[in-house]
Amino acid sequence: MYIFYQVITCTLFLLIFPFFLVFSFVSGRHRDGLGQRLGVYPELNKKAEGNVRIWLHASSVGEVQAARAIIPEIRRLLPGADFVLSTMTVQGRLVAEKFLGKDVTCVLAPLDVPLIVDRSLAAIDPDLYVCIETELWPLILKKIIQRGRQLALVNGRMSKSSYGSYRKIRRFMARILVHFEQMAVISSADRERYVGLGMDPGRVQVLGNVKYDLALPPDQTAVTARYRSLLGIESGCEVLIAGSTHGNEEEQLLSLLDDGLEKGRQLLILAPRHLERLPQLRLMLEQKGYHFDLFSDLEKGQVRQADLVLVDCMGELAMLYSVADYVFCGGSLVLRGGHNVMEVALWSKAVFYGPNMSDFRDATVMLEEAGAGFMVRDAFALKEKIEFFREHQQEYSLACRRAGELARAQQGAARKQAEMVVSLLQ
């Protein structure tokens, strides 16, 4: 199978690359990092004798976020370690360079072609190769093992559809996975899928998702009490929070106030993602006849008068979730990719969101599998869902409890996965 794979990759490279090279030089496109794709890394310093070098591979921006969480934890345990991070996309490399700084060498991943892989390994000379999430390049993995180095996978995930595809080449996948010394995966479902493809179950640990390794403040009760007092929330008042909203979403969500509840028994809190939109948002609310209070005025001691509060300051939303009965995650009824739903789940709140959650798809999948996340097509569907849960409080309480359990399961993920990586080097 490996021979067949090499024949295919070499043939495709020889057939396609000359045309790609001509296109690149004529059009000027894809020139950036072309040498790195061929395994040429002049920016990479030679590894100092006695130093440990860890090569982490991240596919794109999402995996780079995971690298941002785990590299500091590894460095804490191995202060002298040297890091190289490769990405498949130029955008991923740019994000990595921006957030990881000069202490991590960020490059584009080499093509999985024999001579190119050999050149890359000679230049990077890693002591350990760490694959982030899913992307497995058979030749790179085999060549690293042949050099006597070890392989690990962190923040591993495998979707149901990917598993179905890999099952068709299970024998080949088993030959790839056998090389991994250890794997840290996000959930038990991910573990079952990797084991189902031939991975040794004794080498797979469920350690959570490093991208959602969040923590609540130590004084949670005090935080909740402060916001309930500041917002004037009395017993029996239902609180709905629409967090990180974008243009056109607030107008749709205002219908949540018009559901027949007695005045004073419901509070809608709108927290726009970008504060520069506040003037137009205030104008829209005034034109439609909605009375509202500004959060900043309540902080100054003003008593809340309206059933609508507009959050006009940064840094409050993550703590405001503590007082919510229902939470909608904005940026999802419009094409903005959504926002971090785990910030909500951490407070043991089920999460509602629209159909456009592409930036946090992995989090929504986890929430939905746990029965703690609910996608709604529009504001009307959100209203219907909330009305359903008002009538089925026991079911909603269970969803909220599961949300909290899932979010807390991610805590310590970066530290635990870093410890697994470092143990291989020791």
Domains by residue range for the chain, with CATH? 2-213+411-425 (3.40.50.11720), 220-409 (3.40.50.2000)
> How many CA atoms does the CB half-sphere of 103 hold within 13 Å?
9
Q: How confident is the model at residue 221 (pLDDT cuts 50, 70, 90)?
A: very high
d(CA 410, CA 186) in angstroms, rounded, equals 8
Q: Give residue 33's pLDDT.
A: 83
**pLDDT tens for each residue of 234-257:** 999 999 999 999 999 999 999 888
- Asked if 240 and 329 touch (Cβ cutoff 8 Å), the reply is no
Q: Name the pTM for this structure.
A: 0.74
**pLDDT tens for each residue of 380-396:** 999 999 999 999 999 99
Q: Give residue 6's pLDDT.
A: 87
Q: Give residue 62's pLDDT.
A: 79
291: CB partners within 8 A, 6+ apart: 305, 306, 307, 308
Mean pLDDT for the stretch of residues 255-284: 86
Q: How confident is the model at residue 60 (pLDDT cuts 50, 70, 90)?
A: confident
**Minimum mean pLDDT range among 47-51, 60-64, 88-92, 200-204:** 47-51
- Collapsing DSSP states into helix, strand and coil, what is residue 64? helix
- Collapsing DSSP states into helix, strand and coil, what is residue 281? helix
> How many CA atoms does the CB half-sphere of 67 hold within 13 Å?
31
Q: Give residue 260's pLDDT.
A: 54
Identify the H or E element spanning 285. helix 278-287
Q: How confident is the model at residue 154 (pLDDT cuts 50, 70, 90)?
A: very high
Q: How confident is the model at residue 153 (pLDDT cuts 50, 70, 90)?
A: very high
**pLDDT tens for each residue of 16-50:** 988 888 888 887 777 778 899 999 998 888 887 77
d(CA 402, CA 396) in angstroms, rounded, equals 10
Q: Give residue 7's pLDDT.
A: 87
d(CA 339, CA 348) in angstroms, rounded, equals 17
Q: Give residue 259's pLDDT.
A: 64
Q: Is the dihedral of CA 170, 171, 176, 179 positive or negative?
A: positive
Mean pLDDT for the stretch of residues 81-110: 91
d(CA 39, CA 120) in angstroms, rounded, equals 4
**Minimum mean pLDDT range among 8-22, 242-256, 305-319:** 8-22
Q: Diameter of the chain by CA atoms? A: 74
d(CA 163, CA 156) in angstroms, rounded, equals 13
Distances (CA, A) of 413 to 69, 360, 408: 9, 18, 10
* pLDDT greater than 70 at residue 261: no
- Collapsing DSSP states into helix, strand and coil, what is residue 145? helix
Mean pLDDT for the stretch of residues 285-309: 96
209: CB partners within 8 A, 6+ apart: 66, 155, 157, 186, 362, 363, 366, 410, 413
* pLDDT greater than 60 at residue 307: yes
Mean pLDDT for the stretch of residues 113-138: 93
Which one has a higher pLDDT value, 225 or 5?
Answer: 225
Residue 340 CB: number of other CB atoms within 10 A? 18
Q: 119, exposed or middle or buried, with CB in 10 Å at 0-12, 13-18, 19+? A: middle
Q: CA angle, corner 340, sides to 361 and 54, nearest 5?
A: 75
Mean pLDDT for the stretch of residues 136-153: 94
Q: How confident is the model at residue 262 (pLDDT cuts 50, 70, 90)?
A: low
Whose tokens are 């890693």? That residue is: 126
CA neighbor of 198 nearest in space, from 217, 164, 172, 174: 174
d(CA 45, CA 99) in angstroms, rounded, equals 20
What is the overall mean pLDDT for the chain? Answer: 92
Question: Which residues make beta-bridge pairs with 375?
Answer: 353
- Asked if 129 and 57 touch (Cβ cutoff 8 Å), the reply is yes
In total, the chain counts a number of residues equal to 426
**pLDDT tens for each residue of 357-371:** 988 888 999 899 999
- Asked if 335 and 367 touch (Cβ cutoff 8 Å), the reply is no
**pLDDT tens for each residue of 156-177:** 988 888 899 999 999 999 999 9
Distance of CA 271 to the CA centre of its chain: 21
Residue 232 zone, left/alpha/beta (φ > 0; ψ -120 to 50; rest):
left
